[in-house]
Structure 1
């Protein structure tokens, strides 16, 4: 048994025996049959409304498994770094907010809702999880294609401008966003959109070898020539994707505009 699976069992047992816990659900790799020794453990834990103001989440987590660090990340998710270097993500909410689960539907596919269920004293959790079953949102839409193309242009132009200014570190940071939007379009083109939101997840297996080779050409060290080369390669790929997708989707940008971007980077 993986250590993560032991931690999951401990959390389930704690929830069952803690009257302050109304319900608990899990999300992430272990609910999709993809968990391994490097995977995180991730939970939503719903606290009884009458005790939520005095509930000590840090103390609760510290009793799950030996922990080296507990903190809130930039998304206000409580993160635990367990002593064995396993990461845990915890969302503690009052049970009056349990219907937040309905909002998860738009984020993807949930193939095994039974594995998401950890504990429930309210009889409200499973019906909400059932609402997540079935196919996920349609990613192959004009809206998503335009979202990726338009945001590519925005991120690309900002990255090229700061590169031209000499802010190479900032340009390298911007390249990450450019890569994200291209990968979303690659996934749409190759009809492999399960990880459309988290576009680099499982990339080595998800996209074709040729597209992965292209992705490598979009990467760069902190060097102006390499950055320029990477930004140019992203533009070549976006033109290729535009030509491949234009007959299937209504796209805001056009070939003439893309050629204008080529002219701009070469100035």
Structure 2
């Protein structure tokens, strides 16, 4: 199939029918990357490299540009060769974020190859590529493949220090939640509960259950990864952004945190600030 035919197919396959559109677009990305001598390498990351991609998955990649071309390389123009774009902008993390015409999302890190490939060594323990040869679409020097293969083995979080960090974080943030509720800031309390506290609870829960594959996005595949009892405890901490609901969810959230923290302390002998825990519980109980 020619590059033109691949491009046309990737733009017309319905977004939500199958994962075929993503496979096709990745094939086209490989083709145009090999044809562009400004690129030293292209590395995929995300669900496709983990074998978990479906019709709703994004296309996520690093574009490692030769140092001499880094200042003039137009990431948007390069990505637009894959399919027409409905949206393209540099997001808050400095990443080129796009939406293709079939509503597939994409994120492209455009990096100068010289230093960026070397920095992959610092990803150890955070990122892993179970099939590095699948993740590497282009490697003109061999450096990228070597770096990806060094990240092939998954290194789960070290449990003791991680549990200590998470239990301390949860105590601190829940105290802030109690203060915010006392001030009557329902919307802010809702945001704290769902975007700050809940992800850390899920990480602590995953650590205790030995289910850390989706560590960086702990809500991902929660229904498959965690037991029904844990799912129920998590669900009980969710609510509508109304005052009474947030207050009830906050108390249930703190009880789950205390149960998780107690379990972690018993298993790994971590230290818990128990007087502070009592203070937090008392303050949340008063906010009815």
- TM class by shorter-chain length? over 0.9
Map of 1:36 onto structure 2: 54
**8 Å Cα contact 2:125-2:154 kept in structure 1:** no
RMSD: 1.4
**8 Å Cα contact 1:80-1:87 kept in structure 2:** yes
2:188 to 163, 170, 175: 170
Instruction: From the superposition, tell whether residues 54 and 67 of structure 1 become closer, same or farther in structure 2 (CA, over 3 Å).
Output: same
Rounded to whole Å, the distance in 2 between the matches of 1:215 and 1:8 is 36
**8 Å Cα contact 1:140-1:188 kept in structure 2:** no
Map of 2:147 onto structure 1: 128
2:104 to 59, 75, 86: 86
Structure 1 runs, 4 residues or longer, greater than 4 Å off: none
Deviations 1:209-260 (Å, cap 9, x if unpaired)? 0110111100011111111111100111122112222122232324443222
Q: Is structure 2 residue 179 aligned with structure 1 residue 161?
A: yes
TM-score, L = length of structure 2: 0.88
Shift of 1:184: 1.1
Shift of 1:140: 4.3
Map of 1:179 onto structure 2: 198
Mind listing any 5+ residue stretches in structure 1 that lack a counterpart?
none
Shift of 1:103: 2.2
**8 Å Cα contact 1:41-1:89 kept in structure 2:** yes
Rounded to whole Å, the distance in 2 between the matches of 1:90 and 1:108 is 17
Rounded to whole Å, the distance in 2 between the matches of 1:64 and 1:184 is 36
Rounded to whole Å, the distance in 2 between the matches of 1:236 and 1:83 is 46
**8 Å Cα contact 1:192-1:206 kept in structure 2:** yes
How many residue pairs get aligned? The number is: 266
**8 Å Cα contact 2:129-2:149 kept in structure 1:** no
Map of 2:29 onto structure 1: 11
Map of 2:91 onto structure 1: 73
Mind listing any 5+ residue stretches in structure 2 that lack a counterpart?
1-18
Rounded to whole Å, the distance in 1 between the matches of 2:230 and 2:244 is 22
Range that drifts further, 95-104 or 8-17 = 95-104
2:236 to 186, 210, 217: 217
Rounded to whole Å, the distance in 2 between the matches of 1:252 and 1:223 is 35
Q: Is structure 2 residue 81 aligned with structure 1 residue 58?
A: no
